[in-house]
Structure 1
């Protein structure tokens, strides 16, 4: 069960009326979302209600984490007549193995984990929030209000292969590896060194992070 959500984009005027719309990644980097799901969440179903003007739109479901494959079933309920078609363009991604097993963790990180996790040798969302906020509080090059408990719960859900709601040694090491990677991408694309990301910077950062999306075309009368 991956953490999932979706976004809705309005089809550009030059593509309206076509049934074989093909929009590359540059479109998603340069066009704002018309609407989106309230949150990305680790559930089997995500639903939202929107009021949109007549037109043609793309519904783009995706996983929260990049480079994950998944099958999506999309249902559209409308008060007005609609026509819905899938966009069958092939989607592919080069998947990199970022999973760290317990055996791959070095002794230094293992000792650090023991101190952070405590007697049960697992890290809960509450403990993760404390750890992450202590880390970012020491960073003067990043502006942040810190990690909320909900954010840390999502992070735990993403990494929790055992399903017990906590992170073991390998799971935490995998999360830490991902955090370091995204932090590096963030810093590389913070071109003005403001500690924050502008919309153009975020577009490039999102491109660097990679991703895999699935598209559905909908026409609203």
Structure 2
């Protein structure tokens, strides 16, 4: 396990991003970056605030670790972490008159005579649309995921989406698609755990380390990649939970 320690003045209560490490040179590193069960090092540093960064030998691997720090002078340590917050944008206030004719015509074709979209119809629509985006990796939306979307948007308790409700959901998914593409830095079609954290923050959610680990464990695949449908499902869950907390 390698360790580096750039000086980090005044960085409490924040999860440091990649840009911090690009701008700040390490003050010390483990002497040999090697795949061993235990890595130790003795270094001399001037008084100050420092950040210790443990890492696995191979990238994108999860591992438990124990970090012990022995100092000749009295020192204090704490974990750098975010406070859990959600910046939820105000719900769009639109009426049926605000929906343009092309979207209305599309909705009529999709919804049928009852002019409402059921969970089955929503799943068919989303999976049909997402397969057209060849740059995205996805297993498709599940019935459970679509139920969660309808529960988030269903204001009249019909368990279906009317025209306005579907328009608002459609706008959300388009916005989340833009965020996903902007943070898929390697254009892999999925997001790494780091990219996922940045994407969630861009969507308005700051999570602490423990909650972020839970999210990745829930929505990532065996290689810790998050595809688009799981990204959307995660945002739907987070928005629903934070909305209830703010009531």
Q: In the TM superposition, what is the alpha-carbon distance from 1:139 to its structure 2 partner? A: 1.1
Conserved in 2, the CA contact under 8 Å of 1:132 and 1:147? Answer: yes
Q: TM (normalized to structure 2)?
A: 0.49
Within a 5 Å distance, the mapping from 1:117-156 to structure 2 comes to: 117-156=111-150
**Structure 2 SS opposite 1:132:** helix
Conserved in 2, the CA contact under 8 Å of 1:186 and 1:205? Answer: yes
Q: TM (normalized to structure 1)?
A: 0.55
Q: In the TM superposition, what is the alpha-carbon distance from 1:96 to its structure 2 partner? A: 3.6
Q: Note closer, same or farther for the CA distance 1:90–1:161 as it changes in structure 2 (3 Å cut).
A: same
Conserved in 2, the CA contact under 8 Å of 1:100 and 1:171? Answer: no
Q: Note closer, same or farther for the CA distance 1:213–1:104 as it changes in structure 2 (3 Å cut).
A: farther
Give the length in aligned residue pairs.
Answer: 134
**Runs of at least 4 residues off by over 2 Å:** 89-101, 211-214
* Higher normalized contact order (CA 8 Å, seq sep 6+, divided by chain length): 1
Match of 2:49 in 1: none
1:168 aligns with 2:129: no
Alpha-carbon distance in structure 1 between the residues aligned to 2:108 and 2:144: 24
Q: CA RMSD in A?
A: 2.8
Conserved in 1, the CA contact under 8 Å of 2:119 and 2:150? Answer: yes
Match of 2:20 in 1: none
Q: In the TM superposition, what is the alpha-carbon distance from 1:95 to its structure 2 partner? A: 3.1
Q: Residues 109-134 of structure 1, C-alpha deviation per residue, up to 9 Å, x if partnerless? A: 00000000000000000000000000
Match of 2:201 in 1: 207
Specify which structure has the higher proportion of helix: 2
Q: Note closer, same or farther for the CA distance 1:164–1:136 as it changes in structure 2 (3 Å cut).
A: same
Work out which of the two has the higher radius of gyration on C-alpha atoms and give 1 or 2.
2
Within a 5 Å distance, the mapping from 1:40-189 to structure 2 comes to: 93=87, 95-189=89-183
Stretches of structure 2 lacking an aligned partner (at least 5 in a row):
1-11, 17-82, 209-247
Stretches of structure 1 lacking an aligned partner (at least 5 in a row):
1-21, 28-88, 215-221
Q: Note closer, same or farther for the CA distance 1:94–1:115 as it changes in structure 2 (3 Å cut).
A: closer
Specify which structure has the higher proportion of strand: 1
Q: In the TM superposition, what is the alpha-carbon distance from 1:152 to its structure 2 partner? A: 0.3
